[in-house]
Chains A and B, each alone.
Chain A
């Protein structure tokens, strides 16, 4: 079995598992775990937005929670204050996040590396404190609770997030679509331009790439991913709160993305799953689960500096190598 086949088989198994979750998981564990997997999907998308910037363009953003928060508040304010239905509220969340990413990106992507990391934190802190103080609009730390409008209405049949299975599949479909879009972008000439900037921005500009514009495009795309994640999370939890805009939320996503493997499509999913599963598995037995999370983060750094996805890629490569040697030996033997 070649590495490519192993990966294909694994992907097929993963896809089959994700599609069967609403039936297999309640039978094996409980309905709670279906929601947990939905939550992991949402946070993976958020980690993917960090990964798009850091893993593919080389910009370390510590402020992605800002766009997550705008996605969340777009939905929350849209439904609670403006009385919007599901789809307009979803759209409002995404547009709000992208618009914010565009405005802050125009300023932020002029800077790189440490300065970029700091300015993204500063921007997200500004809006975090604004959200905390503008209680009439945002509800501050308590947030806004809203009741869920239906997603689809076909005559008499109504589909909404109150149905756990529908909620799961809606989240799965949206997150899959976003990951597919990201996969297409990364494979496209635009994605290659991103990689060129990540590896050497001076050379990229010398071959005629508009580094500033490309970074801005990537920043708005990342804002889109974070905004979709935030909007989904608002629907999922039926509320929006300023606490999700704090810099620690951004920091967690950075850690998830790097632990999973920055610059790989599936890395953020792996990293997010590992951390959220540890949190859930340990927290029911032991109050101080954060200790375990801390030790895991340090262990991963020591044992898998390229992230868990990098560890996997190395393992596959080693699997290929002896096989290649075997072929070489065979050809030698058949020589007269």
Chain B
């Protein structure tokens, strides 16, 4: 009993770290571009598929950690220039545009990858003893990788020039432009980084979950909830909320079936929304 609880709680924790990566991208895209990105789950899905193709054609799984985010970054920049730029500021239109994007991404993947879900074997198999249970090594590795990516992203945002630009544009666009910050390039970069983060999350998660053209559909509401519960615009809050949500669901799964666990976490989430609409971790941070 204790072992199952521990196993599922750990699984939830690691899944939450991956979700945090995806939700962060969603949050910066929303915060800077005012885009409600319905296609963000599919960005994750594209990451899993690129990882699968990389393994298939090069035989090297590790390369996927480079190709997936790179592919996401380039595609994200292209999509921003062609689709997102023309609708800047109109949140309702962004829903329609990204809905269209989501259909295009899913259908394109269905054409090139096929409709059947596939699995990737973890590149490192085996287990190690952890808190008295035998735990899958790859999941530990995935957690470490996610934490490294999260840390890297926050470092980038806080201590690099471009990261400072991004924070400046989010804080006050007009002043930032007056100070000579190339806001247009920042928008492209933000969308590209958001896609890249989600695709990296996809590559990390590929051996844990299944690779499927509909793989982004279930994950999308979860990411939105993390963004809202963490507090809109509060990036560390978003990451913490994602981990907390997935961890909690893992814990509940040890006593109930997955659907009941999902329902329980959704009920809890509505309670948070109603009682603390500013998010669990403080108010609106701009």
Interface residues of A (CB under 8 A from B): 54, 60, 107, 110-111, 114-115, 117-119, 121-123, 125-126, 129-130, 132-133, 247-248, 251-252, 254-255, 258-259, 262, 288, 290-291, 293-298, 300-302, 305
B267 touches A291 (CB 8 A): no
Residues of chain A within 8 A (CB-CB) of B266 are 122, 125-126, 129
Contact of B273 among A119, A290, A297 (CB under 8 A): A119
Distance between A271 CB and nearest chain B CB, rounded to angstroms = 9
Taken together as a complex, chains A and B put the C-alpha atoms of A129 and B266 apart, in Å, by: 10
Complex Cα spacing A300 to B100, Å: 10
9 contacts between A and B (CB under 8 A): A60-B95, A117-B36, A126-B266, A258-B93, A258-B95, A288-B107, A290-B107, A295-B100, A297-B96
* Contacts beyond the supplied A133-B263, A290-B103: 8 A-B pairs with Cβ under 8 Å: A111-B277, A114-B232, A122-B269, A254-B95, A258-B95, A300-B96, A301-B86, A305-B90
- Summed over the interface, the residue pairs from A and B with CB atoms below 8 Å come to a total of 116
A301 and B273 in contact (CB under 8 A), knowing A54-B92, A291-B103, A291-B108? no
Which stretch, B7-15, B124-132, B220-228, touches the partner chain A? B220-228
Residues of A within 8 A of B221 (CB): 121-122, 125, 247
| Contact digits for B211-250, partner A, Cβ 8 Å, 1 yes 0 no | 0000001000100110010001000000000000000000
Bound complex: CA A110 to CA B274 (Å): 8
Please determine whether B101 and A122 come into contact, CB atoms closer than 8 angstroms.
no
Within 8 Å of chain A (Cβ to Cβ): is B87? yes
Q: Does A295 contact B104, Cβ atoms closer than 8 Å?
A: yes
- Residues of chain A within 8 A (CB-CB) of B93 are 258, 301, 305
What is the chain B residue whose CB lies nearest that of A113?
A: B91
If A111-B274, A125-B266, A247-B221 touch, whether A262 touches B97 (CB-CB below 8 Å) is: no
Beyond A111-B273, A296-B100, A297-B100, whether A290 also contacts B106 by CB under 8 A is yes
Chain B residues in 8 Å Cβ range of A251: 38, 95, 99
**Are B273 and A118 closer than 8 Å at their CB atoms?**
yes
CB pair A129–B99 under 8 Å, yes or no, is no
Report the minimum CB–CB distance from A20 to chain B (whole Å). Answer: 33
Q: What residues on A are CB-neighbors of B90 within 8 Å?
A: 305
| Contact in complex: B259, A301 (CB < 8 Å) | no
In the complex where A60-B92, A288-B110 touch, is A293 in contact with B277 (Cβ < 8 A)?
no
Which residues on the B side are within 8 Å of A293 (C-beta)?
100, 103
By secondary structure, the A interface counts as helix
A291 touches B273 (CB 8 A): no
Q: Is B151 in the interface zone, CB < 8 Å from A?
A: no
Chain A residues positioned under 8 Å from B273 (CB to CB): 111, 115, 118-119, 122
**Could you tell me if B99 and A297 are in contact, using CB atoms closer than 8 angstroms?**
yes
On whether the beta carbons of B97 and A301 are closer than 8 Å, the reply is yes
Most buried by A among B36, B99, B221: B99
Beta-carbon contact of B274 and A301 below 8 Å: no
Please pick, from B102, B111, B228, the residue contacting A288 in the complex, using a CB distance under 8 A.
Answer: B111
A293 to B106, CA, bound (A): 12
Judge whether B267 and A126 touch: CB under 8 Å: yes
Contacts of A111 in B (CB 8 A): 273-274, 277
> In the complex, are the beta carbons of B104 and A291 less than 8 A apart?
yes
Instruction: Please name all residues of chain A whose beta carbon is closer than 8 Å to the beta carbon of B104 when the two chains form the complex.
Output: 290-291, 294-295, 298
Residues of A within 8 A of B38 (CB): 251
Q: Is the CB of A298 within 8 A of B83?
A: yes
User: Quick check: A301 and B100 within 8 Å, CB to CB?
Assistant: yes
B262 at interface, CB cutoff 8 A: yes
- Complex-state Cα separation, A130 to B38, whole angstroms: 24
Contact A258 B277 (CB under 8 A): no
Question: Which listed residue, A252, A294, A300, touches B101 by the CB 8 Å rule?
Answer: A294
With the chains together, A293 CA to B96 CA distance in Å?
11
Query: What separation, in Å, do the CA atoms of A205 and B103 have in the docked complex?
Result: 40
CB of B121 within 8 A of chain A?
Answer: no
- A132 to B259, Cβ gap below 8 A? yes
CB-CB under 8 A from A107, the residues of chain B are 270, 274
B260 within 8 A of A: yes
Partner of A122, one of B96, B102, B108, B225: B225
Chain B residues lying within 8 Å of A123, measured Cβ to Cβ, are 270
Given known pairs A54-B92, A290-B106, A301-B87, the reply for A255 and B99 (CB within 8 Å) is yes
Least CB distance from A288 to B in Å reads 5
A248 touches B217 (CB 8 A): yes
Please pick, from B36, B97, B99, B274, the residue contacting A119 in the complex, using a CB distance under 8 A: B274
| Residue from A114, A130, A298, A305 within 8 A of B100 (CB atoms) | A298
**Residues of the A chain whose Cβ atoms lie less than 8 Å from the Cβ of B262:** 125, 129
Bound form: Cα–Cα A181–B108 in Å: 42
Which residues does chain A contribute within 8 Å of B217, judged by CB atoms?
A: 248
Q: Smallest CB–CB gap between A282 and chain B, Å? A: 11
